[in-house]
DNA sequence: CATGAATGAGGTTTCATTCAT
DNA sequence: TATGAATGAAACCTCATTCAT
């Protein structure tokens, strides 16, 4: 992402400190395409431009690569969620919307969206993986959201709901959106989503944007057509506008 | 579970038509605990009281066992969703709530809840499994829900939302609830959920009930504290009551 | 082959003594098509119209079926060769030709031709099979031919060749013809040989006849264009005529 | 057989380019003794001084080992036959004899003679093996011989026989000789032939030589005692002389 | 740092054969 | 006689990991 200070010797870089990250890049590419189990360490090595043995100089096991991948790709998201959630002064509605949109950004990035599916799949085989993900991602991210919900209930911005239950309504739709696409290739109609590589990322982004609008609108305002007088006097809508 | 009337001849039980189901029971138990890939056919056999080879008398492959499991456990749920959705005369709010509660019932049953996780995990390795699940479960279930949403929008019971997006808000929270429990062992506080065998099923059911109330309430009414006057004149609430 | 005395009850025949032969028929069909190893006992059973277990009432093992098949199909041929060879009064040339033509008849019958190939293939796995075939077929058949050759040398009808070596020139071409067809599907050009079921058996027979003429002609007269005067005064040619 | 010059580093022999050939050697030994199907990859590995997995570093499957064996041992023979056959200037009798003697050399070498038997045996189970053998060995070798025969007929050196049929008389006796020995352990009397390893290879060679003389004599001159005047005026005998 | 040859445990599937009925 | 459910050994191939160089 951030360019290294000296690119001039890139071709000749020996003992590059970038190696671990290159391994991670390669691994992620392959995990996304073939899954964790079906990806061989040798493939990762080849794609990273080194030998099988060399991979083990950087990571002690295939599992550790996955671990590092989580750390690199997903933990920052949880951290960002925590950070956004700490803006205690803010209107909780706005905070919630901000976090959801941020998470949506992650879901829209294929390099991030692939992770949860892999975790779910490998949780049985590699309990430590699941455990670490739970501790570092789920609990922090969900904790931040739960806290915002709790605060909103306390401030009267949200109705009196159990935040621990309500948080499932916050992340669930994102999860559903992600898994429908990742596992079953299902995307909302009018959303070509171009399986190809060069894919129209704008489309993907636009589709996600539409979905986030819809999600936040439903989450905050509900599905029901409210009584004619009731709907208008909601003060300021944090959701960023109703979908057309 | 229920003891067969005559156990005396158990050793000689031949041509047991129950065998296929016994294999499925055993397989499900193990798939739940260890996942599909990590469960060996021999383990399934032993747990079903058979030899390895005998399993292949009933199912031609391990994958076929999974297939049958889906058929037995999950397809009926999708069918039931379709059925409920066909009650066109009904208030769409009531129909939607009925379907969600029915799905929640499935999620609360560990023998059913385990399936989606397995599918998600193995989708990469066994694309046909995912494909079949998509066709038989996802498309039917989601289709039913989408239709109800669309009808509700048309009748004016629901606000003008894109049903294909909104459906993610219907199933997503259920999915989140399921996966948090299945993958990470996370259940809402005050919900012991007893990993043990003798588990308090009442607790599980009660917890699910609380969650479903919350989910439907948020789904239908939104998170926001409505204007004081607006909340009361919503005609008949299909959600089955607000959580305390 | 030979019709059973009472065909009237064929449909109702219980405990038919024909059962063993029916098993053999079925086995041969399948061995021809799929080979010995690839044919399952259950398939034989099904084709013979009985259950897997029942096959074992008649033959103690799959190998024993093969054994019986040899006995039934090939041993008679060796016996016939011995018999023909015993016609000591005859001109050895005529005797030799008769045996070769008789063997050719066997080679032309797919139900017989399949056997040698199977034996060759399974000799390693089932030494007893090979051993039995050697004793009952090879040694008797080759013995008969060797004896004829020896006699011919003694009577001066044949040149002074080692009969044990020369016998390879008698059976070898037949073997080559058989294996080229059986193993590689190779038949002399102008020989459609119709893999199909309804196959023109006449063609097969005609082709074999042409081959036998050629074989005997070469065997007896050699390949070389003889000196103009030498070829005509050979007394009576036993080969049945030169090929056109 | 011959000891490698430096055995001291055997344990550390890395990047041995000889490995593939060692695997082939081991496989051939075992295929000869137990057949293709009955030989386990692990046995090949052990005999080659490797682990099971290492074999797969060199050959992707057991079938590929067989394929390579054919390539190594038999294809060169077919190529040599083609080459010899191309000597168009030569007397076809001499050419034919040269090819037959060359083939006989192959048949006398147990490491080569084993191959055809294996192919014949496994043709049913591994059709691709048979197909490849047919294309690379049978068609080329038989093609070369057929061409020589055809030329001989045209030049008048051979009588007017169908070359496609006559070729069976050329290779058949060799095949018979080979299979009698390989499958049934039958060798011409006065031919101890020592199944053991240290075997008197001279005997084997001498026996083969006797057989080739006999075969060519019969093939070219026929079995019949020719008319007293006819036998002597055959010009130059290409067969290398009558036996004894 | 880097290589890549080598290891060996591990699991699905097949099928001849047995045996209770 | 006949059934067919059940057994269990057997073998190919994969791949994470190690280690001599």
- Lowest-confidence region among B33-37, B191-195, B206-210, D35-39: B191-195
Could you tell me the distance in Å between the CA of residue D7 and the C1' of nucleotide E6?
19
Tell me the mean pLDDT in the region C70-94: 91
Confidence of residue D233 (pLDDT cuts 50, 70, 90): very low
Contact at CB, B224 and A159, closer than 8 angstroms: yes
Domain range for residue D139? 76-223
- Do B53 and B83 fall within a single domain? no
Counting the structural domains of chain D, the total is 2
What's the mean pLDDT in D4-12? 38
**Residue B209, domain member (yes or no):** yes
> How much is the pLDDT for A18?
80
Residues B37 and B101 in one domain: no
Q: Which long-range contacts (CB under 8 A, 24 or more apart) does B62-67 make?
A: B62/B36, B63/B126, B63/B128, B63/B129, B65/B23, B65/B24, B65/B27, B66/B27, B66/B31, B66/B36, B66/B118, B66/B122, B66/B126, B66/B129, B67/B129, B67/B132
Query: What is the mean predicted confidence (pLDDT) over C191-202?
Result: 50
Quickly give B40 CA vs E11 C1' distance in Å. Answer: 7
In the numeric block, the tokens 């797969």 are attached to D56
| Token couple for D41 | 């990859």
Please give the pLDDT value at position C11: 43
Q: What is residue C32's predicted lDDT score, i.e. its pLDDT?
A: 86
Q: Are residues D143 and D35 in the same domain?
A: no
Q: Any idea which of B160-164, D82-86, D114-118 has the lowest mean pLDDT?
A: D114-118
| Nearest-CA residue relative to C1' of E6 | D54
Q: Is the pLDDT of residue D60 over 60?
A: yes
pLDDT at B181: 92
Is B55 within a domain?
yes
Residue D3 covered by a domain = no
Mean pLDDT of chain A: 82
* Protein residue closest via CA to C1' of F9: B53
* Whole-number pLDDT of residue A178: 95
Q: Domain check: are D60 and D97 in the same one?
A: no
- Do C60 and C154 fall within a single domain? no
Other beta carbons within 10 Å of D101: 18
pLDDT for position D38: 84
Higher pLDDT, C192 or A53: A53
- Bases of chain E with protein Cβ within 7 A: 1-21
Q: How far is the CA of C51 from the C1' of E19 (A)?
A: 14
Distance of C1' in E2 from CA in A41, Å:
16
- Asked if B89 and B3 count as a contact pair (C-beta separation under 8 A), the reply is no
Same-domain pairing of A90 and A191: yes
Give the range among B189-198, B229-238, D196-205 with minimum mean pLDDT: B229-238
CATH number of the domain that residue C52 is part of:
1.10.10.60
Residue D27: band (very low, low, confident or very high) from pLDDT cuts 50, 70, 90: very high
Question: For residue B148, is pLDDT > 60?
Answer: yes
Task: Determine contact, residues D194/D200, Cβ cutoff 8 Å.
Answer: yes
What pLDDT score was predicted for residue B222?
Answer: 86
pLDDT-derived band at C122, boundaries 50, 70, 90:
confident
List bases in chain F with any atom under 7 Å of a protein Cβ: 1-21
C169 and D93 within 8 Å at the Cβ level: the answer is no
Any domain includes D236: no
> What confidence score (pLDDT) does residue C190 get?
66
Q: Which of A169-183, C195-209, D134-148 has the lowest mean pLDDT?
A: C195-209
Q: Which of A3-12, A36-45, B123-132 tops mean pLDDT?
A: A36-45
Interatomic CA distance for residues D153 and D159, integer angstroms? 6
Of A29, A44, A68, the last residue of a domain is A68
We report the CATH number of the domain holding residue A218 as 1.10.357
- Interval B168-196: pLDDT, tens: 999 999 999 999 998 999 999 865 544 44
Chains C and D, touching by 3 or more CB pairs within 8 angstroms: yes
Q: Do residue D164 and residue D120 come from a single domain? A: yes
Is residue A14 within 8 Å of A54, Cβ to Cβ?
no
Residue pLDDT, tens place only, D149-187: 999 999 999 999 999 999 999 999 999 999 999 899 999
pTM of the model: 0.79
Look at residue A139 in the predicted model and tell me its pLDDT.
95
Q: Which nucleotide is nearest to D43 (CA to C1')?
A: F11
Nearest residue on chain D to C91, judged by CA atoms?
D224
CB D137 within 8 A of CB D130: no
Separation CA B1–CA D123 (nearest Å):
53
Task: Report if residue D238 sits inside a domain.
Answer: no
CA–CA gap between residue D28 and residue D42 (Å, rounded): 14
pLDDT the model gives residue A204: 72
Give the pLDDT score at A136. 93
- ∠ CA C137-C142-C147, nearest 5°, is 135
Residue B12: pLDDT band by 50, 70, 90 thresholds? very low
- Residues of chain C in contact with residue D165, where contact means CB-CB under 8 angstroms, are 188, 210-211, 214-215, 243
Give tens-digit pLDDT for B89-109: 779 999 999 999 999 999 998
* Region D193-216 average pLDDT: 74
Q: Indicate whether B159 and B110 sit together in one domain.
A: yes
Q: What is the pLDDT of residues A16-34, one digit of tens each?
A: 578 899 999 999 999 888 8
In the prediction, which pLDDT does B226 show? Answer: 58
**Domain assignment present for B237:** no
Query: B99 and B45 in one domain?
Result: no
Q: Which of C186-190, D35-39, D137-141, D190-194 has the lowest mean pLDDT?
A: D190-194
Averaging pLDDT over each range in A82-96, B186-200, C171-185, which range is the top one?
Answer: C171-185
The closest nt to D39, taking CA to C1', is: F11
Within-domain flag for A2: no
Residue with more model confidence, B110 or D165 = D165
Q: How confident is the model at residue C46 (pLDDT cuts 50, 70, 90)?
A: very high
DSSP structural state of residue A157: S
Specify if C121 maps to a domain. Answer: yes
Residues whose CB is less than 8 angstroms from the CB of residue D121 and which lie 6 or more positions away in sequence, other chains included? C120, C121, C122, C123, C124, D35, D36, D37
Are chains C and A in contact at 3+ CB pairs closer than 8 Å? no
**What is the model's pLDDT at position C200?**
53
CA distance D224 to chain C (A): 5
Residue whose tokens read 């790709």: A73
Same domain, D26 and D146: no
Q: Are residues B21 and B104 in the same domain?
A: no
pLDDT at B193: 47
Higher-confidence residue of A196 and B134: namely B134
**Do D98 and D175 fall into the same domain?**
yes
In angstroms, rounded to a whole number, what is the distance separating the alpha carbons of residues D149 and B180? 81
- Note whether C224 contacts D161, CB cutoff 8 Å: no
* Subunit contact A38:B158, Cβ cutoff 8 A: no
Mean pLDDT of A207-218: 95
CA distance A123 to B37: 12
CB A130 within 8 A of CB B184: yes
pLDDT higher for A3 or C209?
C209
Greater pLDDT, C96 or C189: C96
Work out the average pLDDT over A145-171: 94
The shortest C-alpha distance from A44 to chain B (Å) reads: 17
């Amino acid at each position: 992402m951030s360019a290294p200070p000296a690119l001039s010797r890139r071709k000749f870089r020996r003992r590059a400190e970038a190696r671990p990250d290159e391994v991670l890049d390669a691994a992620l590419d392959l995990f996304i395409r073939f899954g964790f189990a079906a990806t061989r360490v040798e493939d990762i090595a080849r794609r990273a431009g080194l030998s099988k043995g060399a991979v083990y100089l950087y990571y002690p096991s295939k599992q550790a690569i996955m671990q590092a991948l989580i750390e690199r790709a997903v933990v920052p998201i949880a951290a960002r969620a925590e950070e956004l959630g700490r803006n205690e002064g803010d209107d909780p509605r706005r905070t919630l919307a901000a976090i959801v949109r941020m998470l949506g950004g992650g879901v829209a990035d294929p390099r991030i969206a692939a992770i949860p599916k892999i975790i779910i799949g490998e949780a049985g085989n590699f309990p430590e993986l699941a455990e670490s993900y739970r501790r570092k991602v789920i609990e922090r991210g969900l904790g931040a959201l739960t806290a915002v919900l709790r605060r909103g209930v306390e401030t009267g911005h949200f109705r009196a709901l159990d935040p621990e239950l309500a948080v499932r309504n916050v992340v669930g739709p994102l999860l559903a959106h992600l898994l429908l696409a990742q596992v079953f290739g299902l995307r909302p109609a009018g959303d070509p989503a171009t399986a190809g590589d060069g894919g129209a990322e704008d489309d993907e982004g636009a589709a996600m944007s539409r979905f986030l609008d819809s999600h936040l609108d439903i989450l905050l305002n509900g599905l029901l057509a409210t009584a004619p007088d009731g709907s208008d006097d909601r003060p300021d809508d944090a959701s960023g506008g109703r979908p057309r």
